[in-house]
């Protein structure tokens, strides 16, 4: 059987058309895929949370009244008691909190409270995703806020 001239293979124009169609489909489909939280983004989230806590501590000392930062692991948010600013934790990040049950002889459970003196009842917030983990600690005695990278295995 002899092949006729021009019947075997693909022409260059057909290949270019197929590549153009694939490129257009990729350009439309790729933005629709969810992007996971990267290590730098997780670190930025921890830094933002620490900054919010430091702002609330500073506001309590400046105003001379207690300020309570609201923590919700269910809603995955942390809300400033001074400004009302809110930080939402992405769904792909593990988020947990260790908070005092009582603070200044009142139920605290979902807050980290700062007093006019700068002191606090303390607490810790943990963020982790794919081998990266950070803990934002509020010292109960001094009210100081620090970010501690945690080793994960």
pLDDT of residue 30: 74
Residue 127 predicted with pLDDT over 70: yes
Class of the domain covering 39-150: alpha beta
Pick the more confident residue, 104 or 2: 104
pTM for the full predicted model: 0.74
Sequence spans of domains, the chain: 39-150
The rounded mean pLDDT for the chain is 86
Q: Residue 108: its pLDDT value, please? A: 67
**Taking residues 85-93, what's their average pLDDT?**
91
For the residues of 80-144, what is the DSSP string, one character each?
A: -TTT--EEEPPTTSEEEEEE-SEETTEE-TTEEEE-TTS-B--EEEEEEETTEEEEEEE-TTT--
Per the model's pLDDT, the better-predicted residue between 40 and 79 turns out to be 79
Task: Give the pLDDT confidence score for residue 100 in this predicted structure.
Answer: 83
């Amino acid at each position: 059987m002899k092949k006729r001239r021009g019947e075997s293979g693909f022409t260059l124009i057909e290949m270019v058309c197929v590549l153009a169609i694939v490129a257009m489909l990729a350009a439309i489909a790729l933005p629709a895929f969810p992007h996971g939280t990267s290590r730098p983004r997780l670190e930025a989230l921890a830094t933002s949370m620490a900054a919010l806590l430091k702002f609330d501590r500073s506001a309590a000392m400046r105003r001379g009244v207690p300020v309570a930062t609201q923590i919700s692991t269910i809603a995955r948010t942390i809300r400033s008691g001074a400004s009302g600013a809110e930080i939402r934790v992405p769904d792909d990040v593990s988020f947990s909190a260790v908070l005092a049950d009582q603070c200044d002889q009142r139920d605290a459970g979902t807050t980290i409270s700062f007093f006019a003196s700068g002191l606090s009842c303390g607490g810790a917030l943990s963020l982790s995703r794919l081998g990266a983990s950070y803990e934002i600690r509020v010292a109960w005695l001094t009210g100081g806020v620090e970010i501690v990278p945690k080793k994960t295995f």
